[in-house]
A and B are shown apart, each in its own frame.
Chain A
Amino acid sequence: MTVIAWACVGCALAVVFVRRRSTAIGFVTLQSLLLAAAAFARAPSRSPEFLVASGALLLKALAVGALLVWSVRRTREPHPIVNDVSPIIRLSLALVVAFVAAATVPGFDSGAPSAEHAAIALVAIGITITALRHATLLQALGLLVAENGVATIATAARGGVPLLIELGAVFDLMIIVAIATAFHSRIFGEFGSGDATALRGLRD
C-alpha cells in the first residue's frame, strides 16, 4: 500500500507540472486506478463491504476519466492556457505545502504510517493544484486528487471506512465532477476558453 500511496503522490505532482489537460487527466486516472487496484488487492482479507467499495473506486476511476476526456475533446483550446507561475515554482510550492501538511498532521494509527503521510500530502497537493492551475478542468482535477488522498486513508486503514460513507463520497464526487464539466462547457462557450483567469469580474 505504501508504494502505491507514494506512486499516487508522484502522479499528483505530475498534474502540478504538466501543461496539457489530457496528460493531467491521464495521471489522475492512473492514480485512481492504482488506488482501486490496491483496494482490490486488500479485499480478500477484508469484509464483503470493502469489496463493494473497491468496485466503486474502480467505477469512479473509469467513469470520471471518460467524462473528463470527453469534455476535453468537446472544448479544444484555441491557444494554450498560459500560467503566470512557472511549472518549477508550482512544483516547488506543491512540495513545500505537501511536506508541511504531512509533517503537521500527527499519525492516526491506521496501520500504515507512511501511507498516512502520503494521503495527507495528496490532499494538500490537490488543494494546491486547484489554487495554482488556471484551466478550469485542471482545477477540477485538483479536487479529484484531494479526494484520492481521502480514499488512500480509507484503503490503507485496517478497518476501512463505512461503506455508506465510501459509496456516498464516490457518488457525490462523480456528480460534482459531472457538474464541473457542465460548468467548464458553459464557461468555454461564454468566454471562448476554459481559462479561470477570465473569471475575475466580481470584485468589491
Chain B
Amino acid sequence: MRLRSEGCAISALHTLGLAVVAVPVVAGGATQLARTSRAVDTVAAIGALASAGVGVALVLATLLRLDEPLRTGVVTVDAASAVFLVPIIVVGAASALLSPPYLNDSKRSFFPAAQARRLYYLAFFWFWAALLAVPIAGNLGEAWLFVEATTAASAMLVAYSGGRHALEAGWKYLVLTTAGLTVALTGIVIVYVAAPAKHHNLGGLDWTTLSATSHDVPHRTALAAFVLIIVGLAAKIGWAPVHNWLPDAHSEAPPPVSALLSAALLPAVVLVVWRTTRALDPAVGTATTHHLLIGFGLLSLAVAVPFLWRPLAFKRLLAYSSLEHMGVIALGIGFGSRLALAGVVLHVVGHALAKALGFYASIPLLRLQPRSISRPVRGLARLDPRVAAALAISLVSLSGLPPSPLFFSELFVLLGGFVSGSTVAASLAAGLLALGFLGLVHALIEAMAGRSTAGPRVRIPTRQIAPVTIVFLIGLVALAAGAIAVPHSSLVEALSRWAG
C-alpha cells in the first residue's frame, strides 16, 4: 500500500515537473490567438497565473518530500530546485502582469508594430518556460540546452525597444552568452567522452550518475572540462571578468524582462554551476571547485563595488548590484558550510524580491523622469512618493541595511565563510560588501533628496506601483522575520546533505 502511494507521489511530482514547463509554453502560444491588445494582455495574465499556480504546486510538493527527492534522468526535483524555482515563479508571474503598463508606453519595437505585443509575450513566456526548466533539469546536457534556450528566447526581448542602445545590448548579450555556452558545451562533451564507455548514453550525464562515475575521469581532463564548463556558464551568469553584457542588457531591456534576467536567470544558471560542481567534485577535488567559486565571488564583488559608487542611471546601478549579489551567492556556495548555504537560500529569494521591485519601480520612473534612462535619479521623494517608496525599499534591501533579509543572508554567508576556515576570503568579502553598502546608501540618498533635474513636474498616474510595492514589501519583511530560523530549517538540512 505504502509502495503504491509512493509511486503515485513520484508520478505526480514528475507530471508537475513537466507541466511547469508546458503551461507557459502553451500560454505563449495562446497569446498569438488573441486579436486586440486588451485580449492579449488578458490571455497573458491568465497564462501567468496558471503557470505560477503549477509552479507553486511543484515547490510545495517538493518541500513536503525533502527527504525523498525525485532524481530521474529527465527531471530532478530536490531542495535546491525548490529554492531556485521560487524567484523564477514569483518574478515571472509579476513581470507578466506588469508588462502591459510598459507595452502601453513603448513607441517602437524590434518586432513589426502590428505583432509587437503578441511576439513580446511569445518570447516572454518561452523564456520563462526555459527558465523554469533549468532548476529541474535531470542532467547536465539537458540543463545546457535549457540555458541556451533562454538566450534564444530572451535576446530579442532585451532589444525590444529597437533603439540603437537596445540593439547594442541585445547583440552583446546574444554573442557573448552564446560564445560562453559554446565553451561550456565543449567541457560537457569532454566529460562525457572521457567517462567510462558503459556510461556513453544520455544517462551518463545524469547528475547522480556523473557524481558516481566522474572519479573515473583522469584528473587533468576532468579539471580542464570543469574549468571550461564553469567559465562558460560564468559568462551567462555575468560573473566578473566575463560580465560585459550584463550592465547593458539589464539597463536596456524592458523593466519586466530586466527583472526576470536579474532575479531569475542569473541564479538559475548559478544552480547549474552548483550541480556541476557537486557532480565533478570527486574528479576535480572539493578544494579546487570551491576555490574557483570563491574566486569568481570575490572578483565579482571587487568589480561591482566601484560602479556602485558612481552616479549611474538607476537600471544600470541595479545591474551592477546584480553582479555584486551573484558574487555573494558564489561565495556562499564556495564556502559550503551549513550557515553559508542558509545565506544562499535567503539571498536567492531576497535578492529576487528586492531587485524585481527596483525594476518594476523603473516603469513609472521612466515616465516621471525620462532622462533617468541615462542619468542618475534625483529628488524623487518630492516628485512622486509612491515611486520613491518602491525605489527606496528596493535599494535599502539591496544594500543589506538591517532588517533587510539581505543583511541576514550576507551575514550568514560571511559567518559561514569563517566557520569553513576561509578567513581571508570572508574578510575580503566583508570589506567589499561594506563598501558596496555605502555606495548604494549614497545612491539612495541622492535619489530621494538630491536636486531634481527633471524639469517641471508632470502628472503621471503611478498608482499601479503601490500594490506591487506592498506585496513585495510583505515578502521581504516575512523573509527577514523568518531569517533566524532558516539555518535550522529542514530545507537547509536537505540542502547541506545534498551539498555534502
Instruction: Show the binding face of B for A, using Cβ within 8 Å.
Output: 110, 141-142, 144-145, 148-149, 151-152, 155-156, 159, 162, 164-165, 167-172, 174-175, 178-179, 182-183, 185-186, 188-190, 192-194, 197, 200-202, 204-205, 218, 220-221, 224-225, 228, 247-248, 251-252, 307, 310, 312, 316
Instruction: Show the binding face of A for B, using Cβ within 8 Å.
Output: 104-110, 119-120, 123, 126-127, 130, 136, 139-140, 142-143, 146-147, 149-150, 153-154, 157-165, 168-169, 172, 175-176, 179-180, 182-183, 186-187, 190-191, 196, 199-202, 204
A183 & B221 in contact (Cβ 8 Å cutoff): no
B175 & A161 in contact (Cβ 8 Å cutoff): no
B193 & A109 in contact (Cβ 8 Å cutoff): yes
B179 & A186 in contact (Cβ 8 Å cutoff): no
Residues of A contacting B: mostly: helix
Known pairs A153-B186, A162-B205, A165-B202; A143 contacts B149 (CB<8 A): no
Q: Which 7 A-B pairs have the closest CB atoms?
A: A159-B200, A162-B202, A199-B168, A108-B194, A168-B145, A165-B141, A106-B220
**Can you name 7 A-B pairs with beta carbons within 8 Å?**
A147-B182, A149-B182, A157-B193, A159-B200, A162-B205, A165-B188, A176-B178
| A127 neighbours in B (Cβ, 8 Å) | 179, 182-183
Nearest Cβ distance between residue B137 and chain A, in whole angstroms? Answer: 12
CA distance A157 to B194 in the complex (A): 9
CA distance A183 to B169 in the complex (A): 11
CA distance A127 to B205 in the complex (A): 26
Residues of B contacting A: mostly: helix
| B310 neighbours in A (Cβ, 8 Å) | 204
Known pairs A105-B224, A190-B167; A150 contacts B185 (CB<8 A): yes
B169 & A108 in contact (Cβ 8 Å cutoff): no
B185 & A169 in contact (Cβ 8 Å cutoff): yes
A172 & B165 in contact (Cβ 8 Å cutoff): no
B218 & A176 in contact (Cβ 8 Å cutoff): no
A175 & B248 in contact (Cβ 8 Å cutoff): no
Residue of B with least CB distance to A140: B175
Residue of A with least CB distance to B320: A204
- 14 additional contacts (CB under 8 A) given A146-B183, A160-B200, A204-B310: A110-B193, A142-B179, A143-B182, A150-B186, A159-B200, A161-B192, A162-B201, A168-B141, A168-B145, A176-B174, A176-B178, A183-B174, A199-B171, A204-B312
| B205 neighbours in A (Cβ, 8 Å) | 162, 165
| B190 neighbours in A (Cβ, 8 Å) | 105, 108, 153
CA distance A169 to B152 in the complex (A): 12
CA distance A178 to B185 in the complex (A): 20
Residue of B with least CB distance to A186: B167
Q: Pick from B179, B189, B194, B224: contact of A146, CB below 8 A.
A: B179
| A158 neighbours in B (Cβ, 8 Å) | 193, 197, 200
Known pairs A161-B192, A172-B148; A123 contacts B183 (CB<8 A): yes
| B247 neighbours in A (Cβ, 8 Å) | 202, 204
CA distance A183 to B205 in the complex (A): 34
Nearest Cβ distance between residue A178 and chain B, in whole angstroms? Answer: 9
CA distance A107 to B222 in the complex (A): 10
B171 & A136 in contact (Cβ 8 Å cutoff): yes
Known pairs A105-B224, A136-B171, A147-B182; A186 contacts B155 (CB<8 A): no
B156 & A179 in contact (Cβ 8 Å cutoff): yes
